[in-house]
Amino acid sequence: SQQGEEDPQALSIQEGENATMNCSYKTSINNLQWYRQNSGRGLVHLILIRSNEREKHSGRLRVTLDTSKKSSSLLITASRAADTASYFCATADQGAQKLVFGQGTRLTINP
Amino acid sequence: GAGVSQSPSNKVTEKGKDVELRCDPISGHTALYWYRQSLGQGLEFLIYFQGNSAPDKSGLPSDRFSAERTGGSVSTLTIQRTQQEDSAVYLCASRTTGTDTQYFGPGTRLTVL
């Protein structure tokens, strides 16, 4: 079963705009990770944020985590056509090794 | 260095046949995971290996599914008597000790006719 939900399920924006995706989860976590998937195949790791962190940056990516609301957001700034992909959040429970994924957000960047 | 590799990239089989899917993790990664991605169920955990042991098999959907890992490296996921609902992309990931990031392979797309 899925740990959480992602919102929106699909997002279409113009190149150069910012894209924001949200993720909610249900249980206490050790960390939350964001992955990108192109063409329904392998997942590419983007960023990891730990439960004691509130915000993290990596290039054009900014991730926030609110453990009191059990939610996270991924912001992609100055979007590019190459950012078109599905984006998944995944949580790792305390003491658990497996990742539990949300259902993903399909992002389309229009030129 | 090389990433996680999986073979075959695509597999088409007939209902009732057995299939074997292979995963080569990143060299030196002690932890190995299998996940499955299907339209109806999204991304689901199947099994986790630490070395050659599998301390968490909780995601295997039935006893038709099994996996092994030898030499702390290559892993094989076997599905016996395949059913149409087994059609999915099977993803393998590996992780090194002391980190939380899992690195995924390109997946094997399994189609059961």
- Kindly report, residue by residue over A4-39, the tens digit of the pLDDT: 688 899 999 999 999 999 999 998 899 999 999 997
Interface of B with A in 76-95 (CB under 8 A): 89, 91, 93
A63 contacts: CB under 8 Å, gap ≥ 6:
A32, A34, A47, A49, A55, A56, A57, A72, A73, A74, A75
Amino acid at B29: H
Tokens of B88: 């999915």
Q: Which residues, 6 or more positions from B82, have their beta carbon under 8 angstroms from its beta carbon?
A: B13, B14, B15, B16, B17, B18, B19, B64, B110, B112
Q: Give yes or no for A47 touching B (CB within 8 A).
A: no
Mean pLDDT over each residue of chain B, to the nearest integer? 94
Query: Does residue B113 contact residue B16 with C-beta atoms inside 8 Å?
Result: no
User: Which is more confidently placed, A4 or B60?
Assistant: B60
Under an 8 A CB cutoff, do A41 and B56 touch?
no
Q: How far apart are CA B81 and CA B12, in angstroms?
A: 14
**pLDDT, position A40:** 66
Q: Is the pLDDT of residue A90 over 80?
A: yes
pLDDT tier at B42, thresholds 50, 70, 90: confident
Task: Answer yes or no: is pLDDT of A43 > 80.
Answer: yes
Enumerate the residues of chain B whose CB falls inside 8 A of the CB of residue A100. 45
The pLDDT score that the predictor gives to residue A1 is 43
B84 CB burial (10 A radius; 0-12, 13-18, 19+): exposed
CB contact under 8 A, A45 and B103: yes
The predicted model gives B9-31 an average pLDDT of: 96
- Cα separation, A24 vs A8, in Å, equals 11
Q: Note whether A91 contacts B: Cβ–Cβ < 8 A.
A: no
Mean pLDDT, range A104-110, rounded to an integer: 95
